[in-house]
A and B are shown apart, each in its own frame.
Chain A
């Protein structure tokens, strides 16, 4: 075969640059892929590495529990595959991964920032500090309370980086957040090619210099980004899953700084950054203090609900919200308990609905609450972050449960009073005993208010 006259299709280069991709999953023609390989435009590695220890070369999983060995009909051998990143297409001993090493995609330095908003003094300061860190190629932690307006903070840094011809990624653990950020960034950076990547996202053309992705999608990148911004850096499953953290490392270039943005940094993150490059915004953008949670005992609530009765104080609280037409969220520690409670609450108002993680109508139900079509939602912790509903009031049922960590409780409290016209509201932790996590959440919120208004 002669390769004379073959021209690298730009689309192939644009797609594969920065990606680590299963060879059998490429959407480009076999001929073009083979020719690219012959031109040494791809570095090919085995899917599963056996030495020095078993490791998936895509997601870097090395937990033996998450590998399975079987007699493979394709390679006719004992084959090992990774179960950790299975839903992105199976990586096994007899599959190969391709990493682009060919000519680089065209990047542009022409990017405009179309944003007419104004920063508060604290926002401005944090935005400046972050920009300084990026210029110095230094990682940075932004600690901003819920409702501080952290997305806008990113605009100057992202704009600067794009104008330098750098490739930028904003990663977040949650698809909801990617979907919310995408249109906002498209409006603010109208000249910039932006891709939004999440499980099931549509195919997007061209080379994106700005990529918004779930942390999970980072498994598919390798040494791709010059700036890595991680939003909600503390959120599940990021804190739980070490391979996701290594995915962040893997997806960025060696010297690329990481910008972490969170409302509830772990002690570990704080110690790591506090004295170096750290910005703290203890105040909301509308300059009103954070609503402080109150504790209310609700003894044996579980028994009571199982007997078909809403505990008196909880019933009162709900009826008060209904009477005052205030939208509300009731957080439950377990789906099972929530399911038992749902019909009981529907006796108070037939339109009350429940939503949980696997609920296919999750988005619609949240929209209904926002549009005042339902008076309130029963929910598990999935709605603890990201959602903003005008004048919402929240109650946690069983705040002593282990699932309600201090961070989760701070995020839940952070749903209230975000709107500039409704800056206050009720946050009540109904409990069967006060835990240190509850105390910690309240202490931190009081501390932020003290810091912000001293």
Chain B
């Protein structure tokens, strides 16, 4: 996962390989996509997400999650690193059900953080293998909690930050927040890669 990319991860065009002083001094990471692909993503105006959902993001998620292209975890590492490097709250990526994770072969949320070199912890586990998108709105809102505390998890009276890929109805994040608050968390913030 640490190799230097010479081709754009999204369109395979050669990347300008010149390592400028500017990159060395101001940036942590080598770019992994070309300027043209990069320009297709739309930044989010909100403080709780990095990007807006658009065609480029749809293609990205398809390739990353459905086609299982783990390499794409690196695409947003610079932006994620910048957002999280000064974060004081403990970061918790939304977990996948173990069966689901075996099937996908990786946890897409954890891989994003790993690629951005951001430390994280895990206190939660998923209770169901059903996906949110396979339910209708009503089912999603009424469902029993999607998460529970991991055995031996210790929730402290402090601030936590939940990290998910996309916020649609907010059910996933609401359930996870409740579990943490009930277990004694002082405060739970949320942040998503994409604004739904």
> Measured between alpha carbons, how far is A79 from B103 in the docked complex, in Å?
14
In the complex, A266 has a CB within 8 A of chain B: no
Q: Is the CB of A65 within 8 A of B5?
A: yes
B71 interface residue, CB < 8 Å from A? yes
Check A70 against B1 for contact (C-beta < 8 Å).
yes
Closest B residue by C-beta to A74: B105
Q: How far is the CA of A70 from the CA of B6 in the complex (A)?
A: 18
Please tell me if the beta carbons of A72 and B106 are within 8 angstroms of each other in the complex.
yes
Is the pair A68, B70 in contact by a Cβ cutoff of 8 Å? Answer: yes
The answer to whether B71 and A73 have CB atoms under 8 Å apart is no
| Contact among B63, B67, B105 with A79 in the assembled complex (CB-CB below 8 Å) | B105
Q: What separation, in Å, do the CA atoms of A65 and B111 have in the docked complex?
A: 20
Q: Is residue A26 within 8 Å, beta carbon to beta carbon, of the partner chain?
A: no
Residue B167 CB within 8 A of the other chain: no
Q: Is B101 an interface residue (CB 8 A)?
A: yes
Chain A residues near B106: list those with CB within 8 A: 70-73
User: B68 an interface residue at 8 Å Cβ cutoff?
Assistant: yes
A72 to B103, CA, bound (A): 10
- Given contact pairs A74-B102, A83-B71, A87-B67, A65 touches B107 in the complex (Cβ within 8 A): no
- Determine the distance from Cα of A182 to Cα of B148 in the docked complex, in whole angstroms: 55
Check A90 against B67 for contact (C-beta < 8 Å).
yes
* A86 part of interface (Cβ distance < 8 Å): yes
* Bound Cα distance from A83 to B73, whole angstroms: 14
- Closest CB in chain B relative to A194 CB, distance in Å: 29
List the A side residues contacting B165 at CB < 8 Å: none
User: Given A73-B104, A73-B105, A74-B102, are A65 and B70 neighbors across the interface (CB < 8 Å)?
Assistant: no
Chain A: how many interface residues by the 8 Å CB criterion?
A: 17
Known A72-B105, A72-B106; contact A90-B68, beta-carbon cutoff 8 A: yes
Partner of B71, one of A68, A74, A79, A87: A68
Least CB separation from B74: chain A residue: A68
Task: Decide yes or no whether B178 CB sits under 8 A from chain A.
Answer: no
Query: Which of A69, A74, A87, A92 makes the CB contact (< 8 A) with B1?
Result: A69
- Docked pose: A68 CA to B1 CA in angstroms: 6
CB distance from A239 to the nearest CB of B (A): 16
Q: A86-B67, A87-B67 are in contact. Are A73 and B101 (CB under 8 A)?
A: yes
Interface size (B, Cβ < 8 Å)? 19
B6-A65 in contact (CB<8A): yes
**A73 proximity list for chain B (CB < 8 A):** 101-102, 104-107
Interface string of B1-25 (1 = CB under 8 A from A): 1010111000000000000000000
> B159 at the A/B interface (Cβ < 8 Å)?
no
A81 to B: closest C-beta gap in Å: 8
The B-contacting residues of A in range 77-95, CB under 8 angstroms, are 79, 81, 83, 86-87, 90, 92, 94
Closest to A79 in B: B105
Question: In the complex, what residues of A have CB within 8 A of residue B69's CB?
Answer: 68, 83, 86, 90
Given the interface pairs A65-B5, A68-B1, A70-B1, the reply to whether A92 lies near B105 with Cβ below 8 Å is yes
Measured CB to CB, the closest approach of chain A to B67, in angstroms, equals 5
What residues of chain A lie closer than 8 Å to B111, measured between beta carbons? 70
CA–CA, A92 to B1, complex, Å?
15
Please, how many angstroms separate the alpha-carbon atoms of A444 and B89 in the complex? 69
Bound-state CA distance A135–B72 (Å) is: 49
Chain B residues 8-67 with CB under 8 Å of chain A are 63, 67
Query: Using a CB-CB cutoff of 8 Å, which residues 178-222 of chain A contact chain B?
Result: none
CB neighbours of B67 from chain A (8 A): 86-87, 90
Closest chain B residue to A94, Cβ basis: B105
Nearest CB on A from B158, distance (A): 29
Give Cα distance in the complex from A69 to B67, angstroms.
Answer: 15
**How many whole Å from B68's CB to the nearest CB in chain A?**
5
> From residue A90, how far is it (CB to closest CB) to chain B in Å?
5
Asked if B70 contacts A70 (CB within 8 A), the reply is yes
The residue in chain A whose Cβ has the minimal distance to the Cβ of B4 is A65
A65 CA to B3 CA, complexed, in Å = 9
A96-117 contact mask (Cβ, 8 Å, vs B): 1 or 0 = 0000000000000000000000
Q: Cβ of B3: which chain A residues have Cβ within 8 Å of it? A: 65
Which residues of A are found within 8 Å of B107, using beta-carbon distances? Answer: 73
In the assembled complex, the CB of A340 is this many whole angstroms from the nearest CB of chain B, namely: 15
Q: Which of A65, A68, A69, A90 has the most CB of B within 10 A?
A: A68
A69, B71: Cα distance in complex, Å: 8
Considering the chains assembled together, what is the distance between the CA atoms of A74 and B102 in angstroms? Answer: 5
What residues of chain A lie closer than 8 Å to B5, measured between beta carbons? Answer: 65
Q: Which residues of A contact B68 (CB under 8 A)?
A: 81, 90
Mask, B99-132, CB within 8 Å of A = 1, is 0011111110001000000000000000000000
User: Measured between alpha carbons, how far is A72 from B107 in the docked complex, in Å?
Assistant: 9
| Pairs of residues from A and B, 8 with the lowest C-beta to C-beta distance, nearest first | A68-B71, A70-B70, A74-B105, A90-B68, A73-B101, A72-B105, A74-B102, A73-B102
Q: List 20 A-B contacts (CB under 8 A).
A: A65-B3, A68-B1, A68-B69, A68-B70, A68-B71, A69-B1, A70-B105, A70-B106, A70-B111, A71-B106, A72-B105, A72-B106, A73-B101, A73-B102, A74-B103, A83-B69, A86-B63, A86-B67, A90-B69, A94-B105
Excluding A65-B3, A73-B107, 10 further A-B contacts by CB distance (< 8 Å) are A65-B6, A68-B70, A70-B71, A70-B105, A71-B106, A72-B105, A73-B106, A74-B103, A81-B68, A86-B63
